[in-house]
Amino acid sequence: MTVIWTTEAVVVRVVRYGERDAILTLLTETGLVTAMARGGARPVGRLSAAARLCAQGTYVLYQGRGMGDVRQAEIARQRRALHEDVVKAAYAAYLCDLASRAIPERPDAPPAAYRQFVAVLDGLEADRVPADVLARAFELKVCAWLGVGPDWRVCIRCGAPLVETGEAPRYDPREGGLICPRCASLAGLDAVRGWPVPRKTSAVLHLLAHADIAKLHRVDLSGAMRDALSRILAHQLREFAGVGGRARQVLDEIVASLPDPPAEGHGDLDT
């Protein structure tokens, strides 16, 4: 049985196939789909624009047995800025890789996956929120979708609420969550086995995990907080979900090699 269908989609992976063609992984509103863009690898061609990472538009797909074909595409967003800036390109490539590995094939995607992914790309283009904060927000969504996102407001061991006063919690890399000072003391966790984190880490993780990425504006986090979120979520995704490892390492190496760090935002999460 063959089907021709039309869908809104974003390109999250491009694999060159021979000299002319490209195999695309498209994120649609209902999940991932793989299709061949014939001639998509050419510099100029009918489907060249539709076969670029982060391109967004309406794709007409022919689905027979096996892989589908892209018959036509009307691109609404080329997202040139994500290809022309080194930092934006690095984050966009990482986020596309993460989406292509973490979101299931259609029709099984989480309801908000497409909308949140589009929002994170829009945010990268707009520069309204630092790129790393946008990445952390999307990583938290992925943790939730894959079932490895704990309730960041409570101790993962005893369930006690984590308060912002007094001694800061720790992140337990074996449990995959934050632990209260009491449990850390009882377990004898040292700085190696239990990672020290800033006092407001619990609140920031919870806020970013539940925020609509499209509505994030002017977020300001301290360098220590951003470093803690980066380390926690890289470990959470790698060790508990099995995604993001190599791509995240490449991103971190690119960002670390830059002469100046990306500019920080200013605003409503001053931590």
Question: Taking the domains of the chain in order of start, what are their residue ranges?
Answer: 3-77, 79-271
> Which architecture does CATH list for 79-271?
Up-down Bundle (1.20)
d(CA 106, CA 27): 9
Q: Print pLDDT tens along the chain (271 aa).
A: 678 999 999 999 999 999 999 999 999 999 999 999 999 999 888 999 999 999 999 999 998 888 899 999 999 999 999 999 999 999 999 999 999 999 999 999 999 999 999 999 999 999 889 999 999 999 999 999 999 999 999 999 999 999 776 788 999 999 999 999 888 888 776 655 689 999 999 999 999 999 999 999 878 899 999 999 999 999 999 999 999 888 999 999 999 998 765 444 444 444 4
d(CA 149, CA 174): 14
Q: Count CB-CB contacts under 10 A for residue 78.
A: 15
Query: Are the C-beta atoms of 132 and 230 separated by less than 8 Å?
Result: yes
Tens digits of per-residue pLDDT, 62-109?
A: 988 888 999 999 999 999 999 999 999 999 999 999 999 999 999 999
**CA end-to-end span of the chain:** 56
Task: Return the C-alpha torsion angle 61, 64, 65, 70, nearest 10.
Answer: -20
The CATH number fitting domain 3-77, selected from 3.40.50.1010, 2.40.50.140, 3.10.129.10, 3.40.640.10? 2.40.50.140
- What tokens were used for 146? 């894959």
| pTM assigned to the model | 0.91
d(CA 187, CA 193): 10
pLDDT score at 2: 77
- What is the 8-class DSSP label of residue 267? S
> Could you check whether 3-77 and 79-271 share the same CATH topology?
no
